[in-house]
Structure 1
Amino acid sequence: MHENIQVYVNWAALIIEFTGVLVMIIGPFFALYRYFFNEHEDGSTYRTFRHDLGKAILLGLEFLVAGDIIATVSTAPTMDNVLVLGLIVLIRTFLSLSLQVELEGKWPWQKRQIGD
């Protein structure tokens, strides 16, 4: 019984990770579509493209972190697995925070923009 549940959990983790990769592959195409086919009179197409591309990467990273957590929890909880998961989550969290600051110009916990 326990093995059957573990198989389903592993499949769920794989599907979530695949979704993250798919978001990071398809997202740039949507950003390119908006860049080329949406008319912006104020010349903000490049900023919109950058913002859309960054959002796609952020969303994909969130899916990948969720998949990694599920995959690690479903395996044997050894210290090596937990340390690897911690390192992966730390790196991806740093990437997410960096992208969010780059896109929004502020830390997630700030109300005003950096440099104001």
Structure 2
Amino acid sequence: MNLIDTIRNVSDIMDALGVAIVSIGVLRGLFLFIKDWITQTLDIAYKVFRIQIVRSLILGLEILVAGDVIRTVAISPSLTSVAVLGVIVLIRCFLSWSLSLEIDGRWPWQAPAKPEAK
């Protein structure tokens, strides 16, 4: 096994890890939804479910981007593959930012809202 095969295997493992994180996060969110639906209101259960899914999507996207970067830079560093990687990273970054906006109610680069003084 040469270095290229090892790098390809590492990036494949990272892809599988990203998919596993998203899948496990959705299953965990579904479990929490059912548990909270029984013990809380449906509105609270739904909010917890959405937050769990968004968090797992963000983490999974980050790992998938890392796998793509490793694969592109180490295996096929042509101008075309780097351009395709750039587009993929831009799309995934936009998805991560919009998912963060969904959870926190602000863009990642914005400061958290200060609590109002009483």
Give the length in aligned residue pairs.
112
TM-score normalised over the length of structure 1: 0.87
Point out where structure 1 has 5 or more consecutive residues left out of the alignment.
none
Assess if the C-alpha contact under 8 Å between 2:58 and 2:96 holds in 1: yes
AA paired with 1:34? L
Secondary structure of residue in 2 paired with 1:89: helix
1:85 corresponding residue in structure 2: 85
| 1:22 is aligned to 2:16 | no
Contact 2:33/2:46 (<8 A) preserved = yes
Structure 1 distance, partners of 2:31, 2:61, is: 22
Does residue 40 (structure 1) correspond to residue 40 (structure 2)? The answer is yes
- How do 1:93-112 and structure 2 match up within 5 A? 93-112=93-112
Shift of 1:42: 9.5
Question: 3-state SS of the aligned residue for 2:112?
Answer: coil
Name which of 5, 8, 31 aligns with 2:6: 8
Identity of aligned residues (%): 38
Q: Could you tell me how far 1:40 is from its partner in structure 2?
A: 3.4
Unpaired segments of 5 or more residues in structure 2? none
Output the aligned Cα RMSD: 2.0
Q: Deviations over 1:45-101 (max 9, x none)?
A: 111111001111111111110100010011131100110110100000001001110
Pair 1:55 & 2:55 matched: yes
Separation of aligned partners in 2, 1:10 and 1:74: 9
Shift of 1:23: 1.4
Runs of 4+ in structure 1 over 3 Å off: 40-43
Contact kept? 2:7, 2:75, Cα under 8 Å: no
